[in-house]
Amino acid sequence: MAKKLVIGNWKMNPSGVAQAVRLIRAIGKGVRRYKKAEVAVALPHAFLHLKLPSSLRKGAQDLFYGKGGAFTGEVSGGMVKNLGARYVLVGHSERRALGDTEEIVNRKMRAAIAAGLVPVLCVGETARDGESHYLHRVKEELKSALKRLSRAALARVVVAYEPVWAIGEKAKGALPPEEALHMNLFIRKAFSDVAGEQAARKLKVLYGGSVTPANAGAFLAEGKMDGILVGRESLDSKRFLAIVRAAHLAR
């Protein structure tokens, strides 16, 4: 059985390199006990140069789609890859809120693949409605992000379902875990329309949004999620490790 994947999204934290190193050490040491989970940390670009222990994979939180040149302030997929990253988040709702359109998300997906990275495509509705319009939104986000990706590229994609209303400090709470299975199947079906059934069966679908040590296991067991994308709780090594433990124990 494939290992569950847990990715910590540190967002724009911590403020200093010494704290980042301490957090990496604590998490890196702790995850050695949980070999049945794959664990990555999506670091701010400022910390991507840090060496990670072999128990941890490196991820980035964003990339730019240009290969190089006059793009002040941007970081290319090649740069991220050269710093040792395997994963890169693409289309996180906080990036979309800062201006990443569906066209930009698609260009970033293609740039991530071209750089040899594994894109973790974040999709999710901003709000729920009684008429299931939100499902249409999720499908559209998914399909537009996957445009012009080859079969080989599609086989590398990881999808993180992150309902925006469930993310971060202002969250209204996590998705009820019993609804996670529905969203998991819905995303897999939409992915299969683009990539084919075989690729959809192999697709890793993660859940993100207010995951805690108390509810992580339910998303993996009841929701049959292939992993978890963790925001706030990834900055507290003990709580993050408790989520990793749930992934290690999940069947």
Report the nearest approach of ligand PEP to the CB of residue 228 (Å). Answer: 8
Q: Is 208 in the site for ligand PEP (CB under 6 A)?
A: yes
- Cis peptide bond N-terminal to 14, omega within 30: yes
Kindly state whether residue 14 participates in binding ligand PEP, applying the rule CB under 6 A.
no
> How far is 23 from 39, CA to CA, in rounded Å?
14
Distances in whole angstroms, Cα of residue 80 to Cα of each of 60, 150, 242: 7, 22, 28
Site membership for ligand PEP, residue 225 (CB under 6 A):
no
Closest CA to 143 of 102, 107, 110: 102
- Residues 141-200 close enough to bind ligand PEP by CB under 6 A: 162, 167-168, 171
Check binding of 230 to ligand PEP (CB under 6 A).
Answer: yes
Active-site hit among 38, 141, 162, 233 = 162
For 134-159, letters b (16+ CB in 10 Å) and e give bbebbbebbbbbbeebeeebbebbbb
Instruction: Assess 111 for contact with ligand PEP (CB under 6 A).
Output: no
Alpha helices in 146-227 (DSSP H): 151-154, 177-195, 197-202, 216-221
One symbol per residue from 57 to 96: x for binding ligand PEP (CB under 6 A), - otherwise; what is it?
A: ----------------------------------------
228, β-bridge pairs? 6, 207
Q: Are the CB atoms for 33 and 3 separated by under 8 Å?
A: no
Decide: 5 and 227 in contact? Cβ < 8 Å: yes
217 binds ligand PEP (CB under 6 A): no
Q: Is 49 a catalytic residue?
A: no
Q: Does 9 bind ligand PEP (CB under 6 A)?
A: yes
Q: Cα separation of 123 and 141, whole Å?
A: 6
Q: Is 42 in the site for ligand PEP (CB under 6 A)?
A: no
User: Using CB under 6 A, which of 91, 177, 227, 231 touches ligand PEP?
Assistant: 231
Smallest separation, CB 131 to ligand PEP (Å): 26
Q: Which of 229, 244, 246, 247 binds ligand PEP (CB under 6 A)?
A: 229
Active-site residue flag, 162:
yes
On whether the CB atoms of residues 24 and 59 are closer than 8 A, the answer is no
Question: How many Å is the maximal CA-CA distance in the chain?
Answer: 49
CB 61 within 8 A of CB 28: no
Residue 212 CB, shortest distance to ligand PEP, in Å, is: 8
CB of 165 to ligand PEP, least distance (A): 10
Residue 209 is a binding residue for ligand PEP (CB under 6 A): yes
List contacts with ligand PEP (CB under 6 A). 9, 162, 167-168, 171, 208-211, 229-232
Catalytic residues: 92, 162
